[in-house]
Structure 1
């Protein structure tokens, strides 16, 4: 399985509110900004807001986000859903209850979820310039093998970053891995889910608990 470029995304929110920032005076501006921040704070922890003021005005808010991504051959690559999305002027989006399912040969392969997420776009050079995405999952971030995946691995961390297009994960936080009774802990890791490789950075510990 190789890196596959994104070619299509379907955004299907059940409702969407687009922020219009044409105000007549400073008082209106302040009032609108305060209202947006109040709505963002509802259901979000402070860790997720992450320098909201530096990200510019809110461009849109949506409920019931569903995104479907296909590769260049038309095969299903991954799906992304979230209970709520807030998009900012700098193209950053903050997500509540984000969930991603990565597919391999049309079958679910990995499930990735967290309480919160941050979606960012970056420009990469792969022959030609193209956009890529980074999704940072935090608070109860986890990766679980799908039922159709022969692996039984489950990974838990407070935070990690996923590049969906290359199916790579990275974190400098503490991580806990459980697979078939083997428990491993470490600080920091890198993973490539296309070839099922995982590299721990430091403070590596392991134990075995027979499954019942």
Structure 2
């Protein structure tokens, strides 16, 4: 066999090996990443009750027309949620918003868009309402907070401020800055 024939066979083998190697190292389509963006499941027109891990008592109840659980990070996106959060006396704070989000462990709720919070009916403290654009709630510690503008009303008093923290169990709250108070005495 001539040197040209040997060189031809060697080049053919190199071409086959490099083609095979390139085929094995090609990029696999990113189907898994696109799959993670999809919902694991969707709930419609539901009521869900979560229990506290330590005591086994009700931590919160959620009612909403629709909820999507994200497959990738296991968080949940909610449309027009109504959260019912129990206070110390077994009454419920009502918290509504346009959208909601729940962390994977259920230890954080994020309410966004026209957030409305109303204190329990028949509670020992005067009826209290607050309105804000967004609110973060931590049901296991009974805390709620925002750094957005807040308007709070109670019978005879209206307060506005920027930043808000509340303990939903003890019904104690504080406005953090730019606080303005207007007293509206009852007519006798």
- Relative distance call for 1:92 and 1:132 in structure 2 (3 A) is closer
Shift of 1:150: 2.3
- Unaligned runs of at least 5 residues, structure 2: 1-28
Shift of 1:211: 4.7
TM-score after normalising by structure 2:
0.72
Question: Which one is further off, 66-75 or 172-181?
Answer: 66-75
Counterpart of 2:135 in structure 1 is 160
Counterpart of 2:65 in structure 1 is 83
Counterpart of 2:94 in structure 1 is 111
Indicate if the aligned counterparts of 2:135 and 2:145 stay in contact, CA closer than 8 A. Answer: yes
- Unaligned runs of at least 5 residues, structure 1: 1-25, 34-54, 122-130
How many corresponding residue pairs?
Answer: 154
Please give the alpha-carbon distance, in whole angstroms, between the structure 2 residues aligned to 1:117 and 1:108: 22
Counterpart of 2:46 in structure 1 is 65
* Candidates 123, 142, 163, aligned match of 1:149: 123
Counterpart of 1:18 in structure 2 is none
Indicate if the aligned counterparts of 1:81 and 1:100 stay in contact, CA closer than 8 A. Answer: yes
Aligned CA RMSD, in angstroms, stands at: 2.5
Please give the alpha-carbon distance, in whole angstroms, between the structure 2 residues aligned to 1:87 and 1:78: 18
Shift of 1:205: 0.7
- 1:96-152 per-position Cα deviation (integer Å, ceiling 9, x unaligned): 11111122467323111112111113xxxxxxxxx4521111111011012132231
Please give the alpha-carbon distance, in whole angstroms, between the structure 2 residues aligned to 1:163 and 1:171: 12
| Structure number with larger C-alpha Rg | 2
Please give the alpha-carbon distance, in whole angstroms, between the structure 2 residues aligned to 1:136 and 1:79: 15
Bigger proportion of residues as strand? 1
TM-score after normalising by structure 1:
0.64
Indicate if the aligned counterparts of 1:155 and 1:178 stay in contact, CA closer than 8 A. Answer: yes
Counterpart of 2:114 in structure 1 is 140
* Candidates 170, 173, 177, aligned match of 2:148: 173
Shift of 1:66: 1.4
Give SS of 2:91's match.
strand
Counterpart of 2:172 in structure 1 is 197
Shift of 1:69: 2.4
